[in-house]
Amino acid sequence: MSLLVSPMKPRPSFQAAVPAAGVLAGGVAGGFSGAAGAPSVSRLDRLKAAPRKPGEASFFYYDAHFKSEAVKVLPGEYFVHEEDLLIMTTLGSCIAACLWDRNARVGGMNHFMLPEAAGSQDGGRYGSFAMELLINELMKKGATRATLEAKVFGGGQVISGMNTLNVGQRNTDFVMEYLKTERIPVVSKDVLEIYPRKVCFLPASGKAMVK
């Protein structure tokens, strides 16, 4: 697997590629429209202007490769949406869980660093909190636990000599056991090994890509 030069491609176990740019971007390209040539407000502008909750990803940009609006989920963050903008993240030993409700057609991604917090610490950096937060936010948008499915990425051992800590393995074990306990089926996964990963998730269609 090439990590540096190959374009992002769907893995064989994943669903097919991104919709056409016009559909993905909602047909909004900026420019002038409306009365007296007033400038239109793009979806990217609306996303940037919307208020955000604590821990919710807020780094929005235009992805030139996919010709679509995108949001980058940083460690400790999550993002839930009902339209097919790109939800992106980059992983080493961290885990990104992508959850999708096949009936409500809403999805989201988190990005956590460790399985559980030590002591009284909490927050999206820890899997136990990050998973509950993601599920709760999906349910606020009409999802139900019974119709959720998961795609799981990350858990790589990307730094040599870190075998004793084995953070990637611990993170992977945690998220798989968590999803099993919650009876959320894992329909695809790309975890462990020694590679960093870049993940792209489309929350309305549930499609994911990784390289």
From the list 94, 148, 167, 200, the catalytic residue is 94
Q: Residues 49, 73, 56, CA angle at the centre, nearest 5°?
A: 50
CA pair distance 87, 72, nearest whole angstrom? 6
Sheet holding 68-72, edge to edge: 59-63, 68-72, 86-91, 197-202, 207-210
Dist. CA 47–CA 44, nearest whole Å: 5
Distances (CA, A) of 111 to 34, 35, 131, 206: 40, 43, 9, 17
Is 94 part of the annotated catalytic residue set?
A: yes
Q: What is the largest CA-CA distance in the chain?
A: 66
The SS3 call for residue 52 is: coil
Catalytic center residues: 94
